[in-house]
Amino acid sequence: MGYETIRFPEGSTFLVTGSAGFIGSNLVEAILNLGYRVRGLDNFSTGKKENVDSLLVNPNYEFIEGDIRDLGTCMKACEGVDYVLHQAAWGSVPRSIEMPLLYEEINIKGTLHMMEAARQNGVKKFVYASSSSVYGDEPNLPKKEGKEGNVLSPYALTKMVDEEYGKLYTKLYGLDTYGLRYFNVFGRRQDPNGAYAAVIPKFIKQLLNNERPTINGDGKQSRDFTYIENVIEANLKACNASSEAAGQAYNIAYGGREFLIDIYNHLLNALGKDIQPVFGPDRKGDIKHSNADISKAQQMLGYEPEWSFERGIDSAIDWYKENLGYLEPV
């Protein structure tokens, strides 16, 4: 049942990289609420200072401003740490197509630095963010681990390489690594601003401001949208998983399938708006449909997501109504 009852040894310390970001800051908050010590690492390239500042009031939280591309920073961050939750990365398929070299530096080299620092510091578990994008052009639904196609973007390739390094670090060095293939995560603190913003927060913000959102393609593409609470559960359960489950990657989703045009109409109804969208071209490198088979994570990690899309989207809408000003660019 969820993650509120998960327990770790007293005095356990977690390192969350990308801790000023959407997923990272939610992980920090959840672990602090469970009563454990957390160290955060972020360079604010995509994260927000207010996500850190709002949590620093907790005496169990320590923050390091630094870059995972620097091995020395990673070594320092891993000192005395039991569990690493590695979320630091650059997302966005379209941006990776524009900036492949930067994605190589951050998502591959930075992740390798973190694994090596975790190994040298005797970390118990290394849990890292992968992505459903590794399935590439594999057409069959639901997506199942072990049945991947050709990747369609530099971003997807970086995540596939991370998974291969994860396998090697478990096999060669005995570092328990767990790759979490996130499927379209959404929820509180997800940034609605910028050209590469995720679709749900972007739509919510635009509709609240009475603007016409652009839907890329015909709106009939589908995704397994996954609420942030399910992702927190997966990370913490991976930290408690057996070593037999290490060195592998797992689908982390709700196991549902939502069509983009249906989500748009749900948002219209929930917000009491009547605004027609603009239909634009398909996004380069995007897959048409995505839906996860989560049975492996259920079996190996004990993952049992409690937050359906409907429950999550209503919670997210409430949060954005209250906090949209908090997310405005300075």
Q: Which residues are catalytic?
A: 155
DSSP state of 283: P
Residue 232 identity: I
Name all contacts of 67-73 with Cβ < 8 Å and 24+ positions apart: 67/43, 67/110, 68/17, 68/41, 68/43, 68/106, 68/110, 68/111, 68/113, 68/114, 69/105, 69/106, 69/109, 69/110, 69/113, 70/113, 71/113, 71/116, 71/117, 73/41
* Rounded to 5°, angle at Cα 212 from 211 and 215: 140
Distance CA 153, CA 94 (A): 8
Torsion angles phi and psi, residue 61, rounded to 5: -110, 130
